[in-house]
Structure 1
């Protein structure tokens, strides 16, 4: 066993049976190295559990990021409050009794500023967390950072459930902290997930199953059923606690990360553990000596490099600079538009909870389109089509708002849903490219930069939405311009599926 690393056996998956097979019990022959070729090969029991846990983890994350969408009561409800201080006890209109209501900041002349400030605190925290946690994930591992972020967001929900004992300054500090770990979670959960798969089509499927949209719908539904800040945070604290414990027990460190950092023995141990969990075949001591970690999993051989990568690598290397810049802007523009419509949900006609739930459901449905359409067209064309439709919808909203056509208010809802949900295929392509365009040694850092672009967009979104107090048209004009520029950037600079630069997943 001490000489395990010195043993070299050239196993070629398309070679002779003598090279790829060994005998067991004198007669039975089985292959040592079975490369993954189909979705069923890629989706074992472990990979399915990892997919479920990482995406279910978005439930407490979305609840934290979107809580301010419910904080400010509608103007009609504020009028009711002025008539009767006890109106909240009856809550006939199911308005959300938020922390800002509890603290007396809502239904005041500056209440919109308070909500915008709290939203910005969350997003600024997420911006910083994306950078920091992306670096920590590449340095210390995917699993500890992923679990640490989820547990700290859960701790934030627990803290806010006792926030009636806190000062307003302390509450805002908790919000900024939760935003930090939300940003970190959105970087690291995706990396540990995509590195568990070999096939590009499998990674596209897990991107299409991204948990944000379903968690967004769950947030709207739970907020409508429990329109009270204490119950809201307790429910998500319980969910987060359960998911943290189960994820700690079930999830393993990324073998790709372990190998890229020189821990080949540990990568092999984890690979055998995953293989046994998937119940692929029996493992004996001879296999441990002969096989490499990627052969155990059925992955293709990585291209290993001893060069240490740093933050400067992303910005000084011509190989990484263009994809980093393109993906960072695409994330930022998509985030501004997405969060802009999330935070504008209170001015849309109808029930804000159901509008948010409907947005989440539509995003989930449309999020599957890249997986199905990629059989016929490239990811780049899918992204172009998605942004093109959203840009057109944003332009169509403007004349309806400008001329204040009351009979077309429902059309504004439909167009808003088209934009908020229709941009989701581009989000999925963005996430996939941000993992596949970069090698393992800088993947989390690159994801951190891209996600920081997204978080910068989410910071800017509430500020842009606040400009509606000056003129209702301003936010949608900004959204339309951003979408048009994003369309141009994707057309000119995003690589196609067949390009070598778009398939870096195995380059370590």
Structure 2
């Protein structure tokens, strides 16, 4: 029996690992949208000399605002502390370090620094885990993520806080990538789409839960520490998880892989099954390729450029809507919670459309991007709501919710679609380039909401136009539904598709009754790339 067949019937231990690493995404999401609450603006008024007193920031005239901004630039911190008064029932990094006026860009800088750290993390952690193992890198990244997250809650200065947000991003993004791969390698290939979607679902739930916790904990320092307590709760049971059996096999550590597979195959009340792996007898023969091939061949170049742009826009619009959710009018916490809940229906919808011949991959992706872009443009025509009730918020935020649902579905679809467009020989490097492109979108996204200082709806215009353009460009790509996945770059040019000689491991399982079966499988399945929102 092949190795994947050994894991075909998911056992209790695999379900436990699935739950543990899926819940982890709730913790990952809290750090990804951390600044939506701890970087929230707070009403304030000032009282200084000839400046108008007891005026909120939102009610000043242009001349008063100009005077105040000039005063902020030329006044030392102690003076600002004495004459600027924030809402005493709320604290954030803004109230902590007076990030107002010309210093308000530092709020977005903290978010961008986090996503820049994620970019570094996904590049480095994947390579390190290939060499030293998934479990060690995952545990190290999670522990450091928690450590830097807690320390950021007690950072004495903004500069230290900014540096800590970078290190949180490195470890959070890298650890999340490795945990995704680790979970996929715990289960059969046939379960990968389900496990990947469950992790995305958990990420969306994490956004809503973060808003709920933030509603009750108004001190940003306490909130920063509390969200890392969940990380500690996940870290402790993670100390006992097994290494990836697929990685162990690839390293030639047969006996260790066999022991893990035996524990997976064991059912409650049954005797231990015996798994015997046999090493391959020859070397894989295949096309050698590298990242330069993505840009050397015309067809592959067109696909790569379009997909890089689509991934960037998916990340830009996703985080642009998420990070601006609190500024859409009404209650900030309710808006953020609805932003997360809006994603939940997107995953079953896209799974349904992906398998239909009338929609397929290309039309599904293009459709979600076009709807998401159109929803962003509709927002600019809506009047700002002043009500905080659930009904008024839901009605007024329907376009934003629709946009978030659509872009979440597009983000999920583009991962599946991209893996089918790239030939096997360059699939990992192709997905890696696309993932890096999406991180660039994440770095830019925190600054998009700040465009409202130029024009109140300009950021939604940018997000809407970007979504529409990405949707149109998707139509240039070929459909992949029910079509063979290209194995080599030459397959893209219509050259005869010759099946490669695939060297596979052999595995035999002896069940408690003593019966034995043996077969071959393609163990060299692509590792995959995590979709880190």
Q: TM-score, with normalisation over the residues of structure 2? A: 0.73
Alignment of 1:333-482 (within 5 A): 333-377=313-357, 378-400=360-382, 413-433=397-417, 446-482=430-466
Unmatched 5+ stretches in structure 2: 48-52, 55-82, 488-521, 527-533
- Check conservation: 2:115, 2:443, Cα contact below 8 A: yes
Give the counterpart of 1:501 among 485, 490, 498: 485
Q: Which moved more, 1:268-277 or 1:152-161?
A: 268-277
Aligned to 2:178: 188
Residue 309 of structure 2 corresponds to: 329
Provide the rounded CA distance (Å) in 2 between the counterparts of 1:437 and 1:191. 20
- Per-residue deviation, 1:322: 6.0
Contact preservation (8 Å) 1:337, 1:479 = yes
Measure the CA separation in 2 of the matches of 1:281 and 1:385.
51
Per-residue CA shift, 1:461-505, capped at 9, x if unaligned? 122222221122322222122212221333222652323227999
Higher helix share: 1
Residue by residue, what CA displacement relative to the aligned partner does 1:113-156 show, whole Å, maximum 9, x if unpaired? 12111111112111222222233233333333333322222112
Structure 1 CA distance, aligned partners of 2:452 and 2:193?
37
CA-based RMSD: 3.8
- CA distance 1:56–1:252, change in 2 (3 Å): same
> What are the equivalent positions in structure 2 for 1:65-214 lying under 5 Å apart?
65-74=32-41, 77-79=43-45, 83=54, 88-89=87-88, 91=89, 95=90, 97-103=91-97, 105-106=98-99, 108-163=100-155, 166-200=156-190, 202-209=191-198, 210=200, 211-214=202-205
Q: Is the 8 A contact 1:134 1:448 kept in 2?
A: no
CA distance in 1, matches of 2:335, 2:178: 29
Cα distance in 2 between the residues matched to 1:396 and 1:367: 23
Q: 1:320 to 1:241 in 2, by over 3 A?
A: farther
Structure 1 counterpart SS, 2:330: coil
Q: Which runs of 5+ in 1 are unaligned?
A: 1-31, 295-301
d(CA) in 1 for partners of 2:355 and 2:418? 21
Shift of 1:254: 4.8
2:44–2:87 contact (8 Å) kept in structure 1: no
- Name the CA shift for 1:67/1:111 in 2 (closer, same or farther; >3 Å): farther
Give the TM-score normalised by the residue count of structure 1: 0.76
Secondary structure (helix, strand or coil) at the match of 2:229 reads helix
The farther-off stretch of 307-316 and 480-489 is: 307-316
Deviations 1:151-184 (A, max 9, x none): 2221122212332xx3322111101111112221
- Give the structure 1 partner of residue 19 of structure 2: 52
User: Greater shift after overlay, 481-490 or 174-183?
Assistant: 481-490
Structure 1 residue 55 displacement after superposition: 2.3
The answer (yes or no) to whether the contact 1:370–1:425 under 8 Å persists in 2 is yes
In structure 2, the CA distance between the partners of 1:438 and 1:47, relative to structure 1 (3 Å rule), is: farther
Q: Tell me, what secondary structure is at the counterpart of 1:363?
A: coil
Q: Is the 8 A contact 1:187 1:447 kept in 2?
A: no
Describe the shift of the 1:51–1:492 C-alpha distance in structure 2 as closer, same or farther (beyond 3 A): farther
Q: Secondary structure at the match of 1:249?
A: coil
Contact 1:387–1:423 (CA<8 Å) still a contact in 2?
yes
Which residue matches 1:224?
Answer: 215
* Contact map agreement 1:161 1:229 (CA 8 A) in 2: yes
Which aligned pairs between 1:228-239 and structure 2 lie closer than 5 A? 228-239=219-230
Q: Counterparts of 2:257 and 2:303 in 1: how far apart (Å)?
A: 29
Are the structure 2 counterparts of residues 363 and 120 from structure 1 closer, same or farther at C-alpha, using a change threshold of 3 Å? same
